[in-house]
Structure 1
Amino acid sequence: MRRLLLTLVLLGTGLAHAGDLPETDWLELMPKSDQKALEAMPEIDHNSPEANGTFTDKGGLKQSKGLPAVMYSTKTVAAMNHKQVRMGGYPVPLETDGKGRSTLFFLVPYPGACIHVPPPPPNQLVLVRYPKGLKLDDIYTPLWVSGTLKIEAVNNDLADAAYALDAAQVRVVQESDL
């Protein structure tokens, strides 16, 4: 009887399976002080060589100089370290396996973050490690990524991130999810 009650409670809260984790909002990765700074930030000009498809040797995701400090923020939320999460976002592929599946990619909160500048702050970029790999045909395809989130400074030629996620599951968002 006790096991049945526990199962019913878990099913009722949507936590019966790892795939049923509640969605983690991107703003949960950002301290409240950064959230307030973003709200007060002036509009950013997107007229840059990267926006037109011209990239520097270092790639288009690196932050340009002169933006408000919050756009460079690596401040993290300690409660998110080693937390099981399910996040929605868009892939920026970094490495693929021999079968062309993405095994390492940045997850970003909005589509096109790899071509529109400025990119999100480092505390809004997540490096995803997924050894199983996922075939990605389009970087504008939204994904669900579930696994263990860690506070980890990542410095890549393409971008800097303040978090990394060891993914247990990665799948394309379906219309039925919305």
Structure 2
Amino acid sequence: MRRILLATLLVCSGLVHAAEKLPETDWLSLMPKSDQKALEAMPEITHNTPEGDGNFTHKGGLKQSKGLPAVMYSTKTVPEMNGKDIRIGGYPVPLETDAKGRATAFFLVPYPGACIHVPPPPPNQMILIRYPKGLKLDDIYTPLWAIGTLKIEKVSNDMADAAYAMDASKVRVVVESDL
């Protein structure tokens, strides 16, 4: 029995270690080529709004304002990414916490401060991360690694819309030795 338990632990630790070694997934790989081209051709977006100054005058969180180019609302996904094990870096936008104050659900976004800047990333540049184990988040400007199986899953709530979700097997803070 002890041998079986030891063998299981060794295999599991090897799987966790292998997950850490997954190559980093680039955010643009979550966006179809047509959206990438549209994003490159998009005019400069101004932040001259009350929200851009940090003064929120209406409910909505990361919801997109009306009148932006269509690519900013895109939920188009890359079918090959569905079911793929990935490791992606990004920044948290906390949604749910457990009794100990650890984030158990959050949006992962490609740049820091997406919850206070206008406009937020397109839905195909946001991933809903579910992490029941929870992670203590001291600062939304702290970069994270999320590791798990990516799913094409349209998520919409009062805060934002996302085109992807992940039940993360591991989430951790990016450290200097990762870079």
CA shift, 1:71, in A, is 0.3
Return the alpha-carbon distance in structure 1 between the equivalents of residues 58 and 68 of structure 2: 20
Distance 1:104 1:40, change over 3 A: same
Look up the match of 1:12. none
Counterpart code for 1:100 = G
Task: Give the SS at the match of 1:17.
Answer: helix
Is residue 170 of structure 1 aligned with residue 171 of structure 2?
Answer: yes
Return the alpha-carbon distance in structure 2 between the equivalents of residues 49 and 154 of structure 1: 27
In structure 2, runs of 5+ residues without a counterpart are 1-15
Return the alpha-carbon distance in structure 2 between the equivalents of residues 16 and 161 of structure 1: 29
CA shift, 1:57, in A, is 4.3
The count of aligned residue pairs is: 164
TM-score (norm 2): 0.89
CA shift, 1:20, in A, is 0.7
Look up the match of 1:87. 88
Percent identity between the aligned chains?
80
Is residue 128 of structure 1 aligned with residue 129 of structure 2?
Answer: yes
Task: Give the SS at the match of 1:144.
Answer: strand
Is residue 153 of structure 1 aligned with residue 163 of structure 2?
Answer: no
Return the alpha-carbon distance in structure 1 between the equivalents of residues 133 and 164 of structure 2: 20
Counterpart code for 1:63 = Q
Counterpart code for 2:104 = T
Return the alpha-carbon distance in structure 1 between the equivalents of residues 101 and 17 of structure 2: 33
Return the alpha-carbon distance in structure 1 between the equivalents of residues 156 and 113 of structure 2: 20
Instruction: List structure 1 runs of 4+ shifted beyond 6 angstroms.
Output: none
Look up the match of 1:30. 31
Return the alpha-carbon distance in structure 2 between the equivalents of residues 81 and 89 of structure 1: 19
CA shift, 1:16, in A, is 6.5
Return the alpha-carbon distance in structure 2 between the equivalents of residues 47 and 157 of structure 1: 23
TM-score (norm 1): 0.89
Look up the match of 2:13. none
Return the alpha-carbon distance in structure 1 between the equivalents of residues 135 and 74 of structure 2: 29
Return the alpha-carbon distance in structure 2 between the equivalents of residues 66 and 98 of structure 1: 40
Task: Give the SS at the match of 1:51.
Answer: coil
Look up the match of 2:53. 52
In structure 1, runs of 5+ residues without a counterpart are 1-14
Look up the match of 2:9. none
Counterpart code for 2:27 = W
